[in-house]
């Protein structure tokens, strides 16, 4: 007869596998959603551009300045592309854009990408707080540490020395352009 502890371990293992499977599926769907929103925005930009070119204003280029360009569309669509605050951080994989992360996580990646580009070393969470212009009080530093640790656990960042964070190998090669 199996032990009670053994039966509990089996149920725990099955539940953990189910959670892991659902998280992977959610990450995949979130990545697909970000790609679909990007494509949608590109088509909307193309439609506006064609509408501008075909407008019955005899090709007056002066009016074109009032039409939002791709950069404006990206700025407006960024909140839709970024994950909602307090959302899960997907596991990093090849081709996954930074835009699937919330703005706070993107800021951390951008700061560390700048350090990487300048061939500077990793940053502590206290240094990140200074870079962001935040007070270096324990609550702020610990909030950044929590986010950085979550990014490490999901493959976006590396922590080769305790408390010192840098981009992980994969995201470092993409610099947000994935």
> With contact defined as beta carbons under 8 Å apart, do 125 and 144 qualify?
yes
Element containing residue 11 per DSSP (H, E): helix 4-54
> With contact defined as beta carbons under 8 Å apart, do 156 and 92 qualify?
yes
Domain boundaries, the chain: 1-82, 102-178
Domain 102-178 has CATH 1.10.10.10: yes
CA distance 1 to 7: 10
Q: Tens place of pLDDT for every residue, the chain, 178 residues?
A: 679 998 999 999 999 999 999 988 988 888 888 888 888 888 888 888 888 888 765 445 444 444 344 334 444 333 434 444 455 788 888 888 888 888 889 999 999 999 888 888 899 999 999 999 998 899 999 999 999 999 999 999 999 999 999 998 877 666 554 4
């Amino acid at each position: 007869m199996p032990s009670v502890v053994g039966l509990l371990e089996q149920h725990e293992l099955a539940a953990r596998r189910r959670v892991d499977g659902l998280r992977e599926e959610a990450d995949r769907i979130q990545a697909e959603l970000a790609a679909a929103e990007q494509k949608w925005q590109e088509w909307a930009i193309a439609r506006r551009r064609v509408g501008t070119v075909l407008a019955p204003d005899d090709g007056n280029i002066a009016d074109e300045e009032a039409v939002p360009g791709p950069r404006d569309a990206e700025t407006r669509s960024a909140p839709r592309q970024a994950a909602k605050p307090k959302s899960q951080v997907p596991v990093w994989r090849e081709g996954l854009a930074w835009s699937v992360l919330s703005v706070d996580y993107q800021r951390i990646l951008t700061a560390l990408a700048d350090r990487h580009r300048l061939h500077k070393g990793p940053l502590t969470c206290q240094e990140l707080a200074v870079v962001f212009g935040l007070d270096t009080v324990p609550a702020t530093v610990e909030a950044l540490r929590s986010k950085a640790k979550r990014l490490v656990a999901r493959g976006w960042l590396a922590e080769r020395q305790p408390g010192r964070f840098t981009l992980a190998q994969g995201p470092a090669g993409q610099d947000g352009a994935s």
